[in-house]
C-alpha cells in the first residue's frame, strides 16, 4: 500500500534507514565486546577443561604408582609425605 503523500514516503525511508543503522551498530558492538572478552580471557592464561581433566587423571595415576612403590597402604590413617590436593570426584 503506497501513500500519495511524499512526506510519509520520506518518513518511511528514514525509519527503514534508521533501523538498519541501529542493527548494524548493534552487530558492531557485539563484535567489539566479543573481541575484548576473548582478549581478556587470553590475558588471564586460563586452562581448558580437557587439559585440567587430563592432568587430574595423570596425577591420580602417579599417586597410585607412588603408593605401589612405597608399599604403604592407602587409607585414612596414613598421612602423605607431601601435601597434595586430593581429588574427591
What one-character DSSP code corresponds to residue 76? T
List the domain boundaries for the chain: 6-70
Please write the tens of the pLDDT for every residue from 45-65.
Answer: 888 899 999 999 999 999 999
Query: What is the phi/psi pair of residue 82, to 5°?
Result: -120, 140
Extended strands (E) in 18-87: none
* Whole-prediction pTM: 0.44
Percent of the chain with pLDDT over 70: 76
Amino acid at each position: 500500500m503506497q501513500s500519495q503523500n511524499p512526506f510519509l514516503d520520506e518518513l518511511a525511508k528514514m525509519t527503514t534507514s534508521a533501523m538498519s543503522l541501529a542493527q548494524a551498530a548493534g552487530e558492531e558492538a557485539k563484535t567489539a565486546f566479543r573481541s575484548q572478552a576473548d582478549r581478556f580471557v587470553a590475558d588471564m592464561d586460563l586452562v581448558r577443561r580437557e587439559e585440567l581433566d587430563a592432568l587430574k587423571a595423570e596425577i591420580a595415576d602417579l599417586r597410585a604408582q607412588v603408593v605401589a612403590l612405597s608399599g604403604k597402604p592407602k587409607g585414612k590413617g596414613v598421612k602423605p609425605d607431601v601435601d597434595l590436593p586430593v581429588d574427591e570426584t
